Structure 1
Amino acid sequence: MMTFISCAKTMTDHSKVEVPTTGTPQFQAEAIQHALDMSRFSAEELERLLRVNSKIAAENYLRFQDFCSEANKALPALLAYTGIVFKRICPQDFTAEDFQYVQDHLRITSFLYGLLRPLDLIKNYRLEGDVRLPEHEGISMFDYWKPILTDEFIKSIKAQGGTLVNLASNEMKDLFDWKRIEQQVRVITPEFQVWKKGKLTTVVIYTKMCRGEMTRYIIKNRIEKPEELKSFNWEGFCFDAEHSTESQYLFSLLS
């Protein structure tokens, strides 16, 4: 079984966590070229292109300028991203066996790197899927990656049994020919919702926390069958059989 999560917007360039091994991103060359292309934009242009404030734009201007510098150290993707999902995965207490398992069974999207294994070494950046680089003839990063990633993703899922647990945000489907993925492998999408006034409601912060907690649960318990996900229970979120389907598992919480 393969698990799939989104990259995060926030990143760090240092970590005290030691990992037993590291890897090189499969699309390292493409990532370097994208970083070089992004380095041609001024901080003001990045502010508009990435829809960020001037401070974040300036920070990422420097990141792209220094991207290929040897002084700019890389970190394993699982440690470099610092969003809520990654904080909840909490790799600080992973064993060497946990790290090996996660390297084989988890994939992380990246608009710069395409698709990453958790221990692949990456450098800090900021990029969005709708960015259109002149070097790509005006197509978005989504459309750039789609023909490159789809076959590789299907291949990696099949290598781990042919089932994908989709814990990524919805927009990440646009990095792939998602219809082909659903045709060739089994996709399970867990959803996390809260009951409020008799209705199921999505609360974004809870969804992100639950995605991280479920990813950690899968890793720590070596979950290999999607049906075993139904035993996941965190802070009152538990499997809701009545509102689940074969492809969508709902975990609900009474507010």
Structure 2
Amino acid sequence: MLTFISCAKTMASRSSVAVPEVTIPKFEREAVENALEMSQYPAPELEKLLRVNAKIAAENRLRYHDFCSADNRPMPAICAYTGAVFKRILPKDFTVDDFYYAQEHLRITSFLYGLLRPLDGIKPYRLEGDVRLPEKGGVSMFDYWKPLLTDYFISEIKKQGGVLVNLASGEMKDLFDWKRVEQEVRVITPEFQVWKGGQLKTIVIYAKMCRGEMARFIIKHRIEHPEDLKAFSWEGFELDAEKCSENHLQFTLLNP
């Protein structure tokens, strides 16, 4: 079983978490090419391209400018991202065996690096899927990555038994030929919702936290079978069996 999560917009500048090793990303060459293209944009253009404020644009101008510097040491991806999902995964208390299990069973999307293993070394950056780089023929990063990632992703899932636990945000499907993915492997999508005003609603921050907690649950408990995901619970989110189907798991918070 392979688990799939989204990258985060926010990243650390360095990491002090001890890891057993730092590995080389599958698409590192492509990432360097992408970073060099992004380094050509001045901060005001990055502000518009990334839809960020001037401070964040200036920060990422420096990141891309220094991307290939020898002083810019790569960090393991699972420790580099600092969004809600990664805070709940909490890699700082992983054992060596936890890191190696995650390395085999967890994948992380990246608009710069394509697809990452947790110990793959990456450098700070910011990029969006709808960015179009002239040297890539003007296609979006989604369309750039799709032919590069689809076969690789499917083969990675099949290596782990042909079952994918999709804990990524919806837009990440566009990095792949998702119809092919669903045709060739079994995709299980957990959903985390809250009863509010008499109906089920997705609260984004809760959903992100639950995705991180479930990824941690899978890693820490070495979950290999989809049926065992039903045992997951966190802060009042429990399996809602009546709303589940073969490839959809519903977890509901009844009393927020």
**TM bin (shorter chain):** over 0.9
1:252 equivalent in structure 2: 252
Question: Partners in 1 of 2:252 and 2:218 — Cα distance?
Answer: 18
| CA positional deviation for 1:14 | 1.5
Does the alignment pair 1:95 with 2:95? yes
| CA positional deviation for 1:245 | 1.2
Q: How does 1:231-242 map to 2 (within 5 A)?
A: 231-242=231-242
| CA positional deviation for 1:13 | 2.3
1:29 equivalent in structure 2: 29
- Unpaired runs of at least 5, structure 1: none
SS at match of 2:8: coil
Does the alignment pair 1:150 with 2:150? yes
Q: Which amino acid aligns with 1:210?
A: C
Q: How does 1:63-82 map to 2 (within 5 A)?
A: 63-82=63-82
1:107 equivalent in structure 2: 107
SS at match of 2:3: strand
Q: How does 1:9-48 map to 2 (within 5 A)?
A: 9-48=9-48
Q: Which amino acid aligns with 1:212?
A: G
1:160 equivalent in structure 2: 160
**How many corresponding residue pairs?**
255
- Percent sequence identity is 69
Q: Which amino acid aligns with 1:21?
A: E
Q: Is the 8 A contact 1:20 1:96 kept in 2?
A: yes
Q: Is the 8 A contact 1:146 1:176 kept in 2?
A: yes
1:121 equivalent in structure 2: 121
| CA positional deviation for 1:213 | 0.2
Q: Is the 8 A contact 1:7 1:108 kept in 2?
A: yes
1:210 equivalent in structure 2: 210
Q: Is the 8 A contact 1:238 1:252 kept in 2?
A: yes
| CA positional deviation for 1:92 | 1.0
Q: Which amino acid aligns with 2:115?
A: L
SS at match of 2:187: strand
Q: Is the 8 A contact 1:13 1:73 kept in 2?
A: no
TM-score, normalised relative to structure 1: 0.99
| CA positional deviation for 1:46 | 0.1
Q: Post-superposition, which runs of at least 4 consecutive aligned residues in structure 1 deviate over 2 A?
A: none
Q: Which amino acid aligns with 1:184?
A: E
Question: Partners in 1 of 2:253 and 2:141 — Cα distance?
Answer: 36
Q: Is the 8 A contact 1:22 1:76 kept in 2?
A: yes
Question: Partners in 2 of 1:209 and 1:72 — Cα distance?
Answer: 30
Q: Which amino acid aligns with 1:182?
A: E
Q: Is the 8 A contact 1:108 1:115 kept in 2?
A: yes
Q: Which amino acid aligns with 2:222?
A: R
Question: Partners in 2 of 1:64 and 1:14 — Cα distance?
Answer: 16
Q: Is the 8 A contact 1:13 1:74 kept in 2?
A: no
Q: Which amino acid aligns with 2:144?
A: Y
RMSD: 0.6
SS at match of 1:115: strand
CA displacement, residues 9-54 of structure 1 (integer Å, 9 cap, x when unaligned): 0001222210112210000000000000000000000000000000
